[in-house]
Structure 1
Amino acid sequence: MSISLTVLPLRVLHHIQRTYAPSVFETCLHYLFHCFWASPGINLTRPENMVKALAEVPVGFKGGEISIGTERLFNGEDVKALMAAAASQEVKDVLKATTQEAPERGAFGAPWLWATNSAGEAEPFFGGDRFHFIYKFLDLPFQDVALLPPAGQEKQEEVLKL
């Protein structure tokens, strides 16, 4: 259960989002998701694991790549500064405010996403099965789900034709 207490990763990510270029935030977000969800899964709630993960973020990581080079996004001093910022009252307050904003906007569960499109229109989306609606709202290219015949049905039909 303790692995689901994501306060530390969220504080770090909020600080990065506020102080670095969007590409740095996105790279770090992708890498931390990879660390958390890919086997064997790293408990990022432990400061020593977060320090190690931040020190290993590869430049340009987009998710899924095992190794894409040796250049790292953050140096040792950067990692120390990120961890110090995550412990600061300012970043704690930012996370509290962001967390409070969700129920104020009507969030009642997770995942709850608030998307803003290129026209400046904002809409809430709830549920992991709604991503195609989000992609359409954001006018993003995507490949929709396609139904396939049940496994083995093609072979059964071939046998029936004989």
Structure 2
Amino acid sequence: MGRKIEAYLDCVSPYSYFAFLHLQRHEEVLRSHNVEIEYIPVFLGGINVGSGNKPPWTLPAKGKYSSYDTARAKKYFGVPNLRTPSFFPILSLLPQRCMTHVKHAFPQIYASSFGSLWAAMWEEGLDISKPELMAQTLRRHFSPIQVEQVMEAAGSKEVKDELLATTRRCVEEGAFGCPWFMVTNGEGKREPFFGSDRWVFMWEFLGLEWKDVEICPGTELKSKI
């Protein structure tokens, strides 16, 4: 039975960006283990409301800690230019609806175009909740006619309903934030994982061969070896 990682992500979440980058970098080796990755757009605002969770910046203690945690994550995941934009947080419905359509209509460039949303917002400071800036970001991957198609589809009832249904399903499965993962192992067992730092647990659940983090010997120990 095939293994699968369903990654529920929202461009408003920098930790979703970290998770996306990590999975992209390990995509080839995961494929060699017969692990499929599916990136699924959800609306984080809806998950927070549905689960009763609150964004970190609304709680002083979490907000204070986030400044340290984000700086560490930027270094680890290799995105030194990531900055919290002045317009943060945004209502991410438009970009997430766009990706909901792109996922079906343009599967070949879906992952790369999804990744561009985080780069545009978190590294370039573009407010992609604004239609003109969302369209500008899409033009990096799509022709002008295709951009019009994606933007039009994002306003359709079909796409709106799909994003709403996906978000509700995510909450029903226990989600309280992003990134959220539902992972299926080789035995067909399915379990949830949360956050961009649970990879070891995920690899273990999937039954993959992996190496743990090791501390290199210090100078004093090296001299004794």
Whether TM-score is above 0.5 comes out as: yes
Supply the distance in 1 between the matched residues of 2:208 and 2:149 (Cα, whole angstroms): 35
Q: 2:159 aligns with which of 75, 87, 91?
A: 91
Gaps of 5+ in 2: 1-86
Give the CA deviation at 1:138.
Answer: 4.5
Q: 2:109 aligns with which of 12, 18, 24?
A: 24
Change (3 A) 1:145 1:94: same
Deviations 1:92-131 (A, max 9, x none): 0001101111111111233322223466543210123212
Deviations 1:52-86 (A, max 9, x none): 000013xxxxxxxxxxxxxxxx1000000000000
Q: 2:175 aligns with which of 83, 92, 107?
A: 107
Change (3 A) 1:81 1:119: farther
Change (3 A) 1:126 1:14: same
SS in 1 for 2:182: strand
The higher radius of gyration belongs to 1
Alpha carbons 1:35, 1:42 under 8 Å: kept:
yes
Give the CA deviation at 1:136.
Answer: 4.0
Report matched runs for 1:2-151 at 5 Å.
3-21=89-107, 23-38=108-123, 40-57=124-141, 74-117=142-185, 120-138=188-206, 144-148=212-216
Amino acid at match of 2:138: L
Q: Which residue of 2 aligns with 1:61?
A: none
Change (3 A) 1:43 1:135: farther
Alpha carbons 1:2, 1:45 under 8 Å: kept:
no
State, as a whole percentage, how many aligned pairs show the same letter. Answer: 38
Supply the distance in 2 between the matched residues of 1:107 and 1:15 (Cα, whole angstroms): 22
Supply the distance in 2 between the matched residues of 1:30 and 1:99 (Cα, whole angstroms): 20
Amino acid at match of 1:91: V
SS in 1 for 2:114: helix
Gaps of 5+ in 1: 58-73
- State how many pairs are aligned: 137
Give the CA deviation at 1:132.
Answer: 2.6
